[in-house]
């Protein structure tokens, strides 16, 4: 079954209060609640577009696929790309917090240079 899975992208973006973030960005309280708790089976395209705009992501970044029990899942099924990784996804902020300051400066410089080259 296909689900909205917004938690990893909010975590990667350092958004600690996703509900408030969505409301501040134009979602009404009911829509924000339903989106965050995967309580909807219908996603409005304008909501999907707005999520992608404010989170700087692609639509596929927002979804997770969990194969239904008893169904054969072929290895070449395109939905396999949406299966959540079994290993724990590390929290980028925690990873960066544990690095020495000099290493953080080096990473920042590399990222800045790479971003400039790609623009």
pLDDT one-digit tens code per residue, 42-63: 889 999 999 999 999 999 999 9
**Residues 74, 116 within the same domain:** no
Are 55 and 5 in contact, with CB atoms under 8 Å apart?
Answer: no
**Residues 18, 75 within the same domain:** yes
Token pair of 83, please? 């299966």
For the four alpha carbons of 78, 37, 49 and 46, in that order, the dihedral sign comes to: positive
Helix axis angle, 45-55 to 29-36, nearest 10°: 80
**Residue 87's pLDDT band (boundaries 50, 70, 90)?**
very low
31: exposed, middle or buried (C-beta count within 10 Å: 0-12, 13-18, 19+)? Answer: middle
**Residues 40, 92 within the same domain:** no
Total number of residues shown for the chain: 119
pTM for this prediction:
0.71
**Residue 81's pLDDT band (boundaries 50, 70, 90)?**
confident
Are 25 and 105 in contact, with CB atoms under 8 Å apart?
Answer: no
Domain span holding position 112: 88-119
**Residues 81, 28 within the same domain:** yes
Are 84 and 64 in contact, with CB atoms under 8 Å apart?
Answer: yes
At residue 90, the pLDDT reads 57
**Residues 92, 78 within the same domain:** no
Max Cα–Cα distance, the chain, nearest Å: 52
**Residues 116, 104 within the same domain:** yes
- The whole-chain average pLDDT of the chain stands at 86
Nearest partner of 50 among 25, 29, 30, judged by Cα:
25
């Amino acid at each position: 079954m296909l689900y909205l899975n917004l938690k990893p992208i909010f975590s990667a973006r350092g958004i600690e209060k996703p509900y408030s973030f969505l409301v501040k960005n134009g979602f009404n309280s009911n829509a924000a609640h339903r989106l965050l708790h995967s309580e909807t089976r219908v996603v409005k395209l304008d909501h999907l577009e707005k999520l992608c705009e404010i989170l700087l992501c692609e639509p596929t970044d927002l979804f997770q696929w969990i194969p239904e029990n008893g169904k054969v899942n072929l290895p070449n099924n395109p939905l396999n790309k949406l299966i959540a990784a079994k290993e724990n996804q590390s929290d980028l902020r925690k990873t960066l917090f544990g690095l020495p300051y000099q290493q953080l400066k080096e990473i920042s410089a590399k990222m800045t240079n790479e971003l400039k080259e790609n623009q």
